[in-house]
Amino acid sequence: MQKIRCIIVEDEPLAVKILRDYIDAIPYLECQGIFREAIGASLFLQTTAVDLIFLDIHLPKLKGLAFLRTLAHPPAVIVTTAYHQYAVEGFELNVVDYLLKPFSFERFVAAVNKVPKYLQSTLLLDNESFAKETALFVSIERKKVKIVLDTLLYVESAREYIRIVTTQGEFRAKISTHEMEALLPKAQFVRIHRSFIVAVDKIDVFTKEEVMIQGQAIPIGKAYKQALLL
């Protein structure tokens, strides 16, 4: 599973310790910062991309839900609070889950397990808005990079990353080939190997064993031969 980068926005020391211990116990969570108030978290988010915020509601100066409303493109949010009366308002702001203090580690894990699906659905929705531009945005080195589909040659799996090879250069993104495949128009791109997705209109030559794209030989997996009607 890909690492989920998170921050804690919480002013109670004991609550911070519990959250940090819970986060440290889950290998795919990576804590990138702890903030006692929302202003510091807001400044951090202006320069650093995160996937998840653990957000308390009763914070000094700027309350948690008010802070959430200031974010134009918020990451996934799990609210952590002792006050149940804000649950409806929290879900209206599309939070992933609402944890009432004190919460168990089991309840914490259940909330965190909802985050990957939320992030994937958000990425798909973000990219739908760029359909008319025939482009998509991919997270690369903590930035959203626009990939114009007409320039995309092929995608190759590289362990934790994928190589996105375009006529404008190469990019490395920390997502899986399955996630990338879900973002690409099926009429234009086809998986020909468990490690490769290619742009159909960029294929110069193909045989039963491989395709050639701008001089690069790309193997065709046995399970994918029907993809090119071979």
pLDDT in tens, 42-89: 999 888 889 999 999 989 989 988 998 888 778 899 999 887 776 666
C-alpha span between 11 and 129 (Å, rounded): 37
Inter-residue contact 26 to 111 (CB < 8 Å): no
Name the residue with tokens 């659905």.
Answer: 121
Q: What is the pLDDT of residue 120?
A: 73
**Band (91; pLDDT cuts 50, 70, 90):** low
Please check the confidence at residue 130 and state whether its pLDDT lies above 50: no
Please check the confidence at residue 228 and state whether its pLDDT lies above 70: no
Which of 59-63, 120-124, 175-179 is predicted least confidently? 120-124
pTM over 0.75: no
C-alpha span between 95 and 112 (Å, rounded): 12
**Band (211; pLDDT cuts 50, 70, 90):** very high
C-alpha span between 6 and 14 (Å, rounded): 18
Name the residue with tokens 């086809």.
Answer: 190
Q: Which residues contact 142 (CB under 8 A, 6 or more apart)?
A: 48, 49
Please name the CATH architecture into which domain 4-120 falls: 3-Layer(aba) Sandwich (3.40)
Of 151 and 93, which is predicted with more confidence? Answer: 151
Say yes or no: domain 131-228 is CATH 3.40.50.300.
no
* Residue-wise DSSP of 117-155: HHHHHHHHHHHHTTGGGTEEEEEETTEEEEEEGGGEEEE
Domain boundaries, the chain: 4-120, 131-228
